[in-house]
Structure 1
Amino acid sequence: MKGEVGDDDLSRGEKELEQLTKAHIDQIDEALKRKEAELLEV
């Protein structure tokens, strides 16, 4: 794939992917915290 895409584009894509992954992991962690708190109430 490196032959078809420039190094700058590849680097930018990797950074965007890392940001999206981190954002989704943060959302999952937050949902997990809420669910844990909900289960501890019972």
Structure 2
Amino acid sequence: MDKDERIEELERENRWLRHWLMGISVVLVLGAALEIITRFLNL
């Protein structure tokens, strides 16, 4: 495996990682927002 192939593979993995992190953070933010809203409504 030469250098270019290795770099392409790393970039692909990075893209996947970024998608996962973005997805997870979006879910966390939405969950926190929902919790805040429900607490507000319960007051």
Stretches of 4+ moved more than 3 A in 1?
none
In the alignment, structure 2 segments of 5+ residues that lack a partner are none
Q: Which protein has the bigger helix share? A: 2
Q: Distance in 2 between matches of 1:12 and 1:36?
A: 36
Query: Counterparts in 2 of 1:5-20, with a 5 A limit?
Result: 5-20=1-16
Q: Which residue of 2 aligns with 1:37?
A: 33
Bigger Rg, which one: 2
Greater RCO (Cα-Cα under 8 Å, separation 6 or more): 1
CA RMSD of aligned residues (A): 0.7
Identity of aligned residues (%): 11
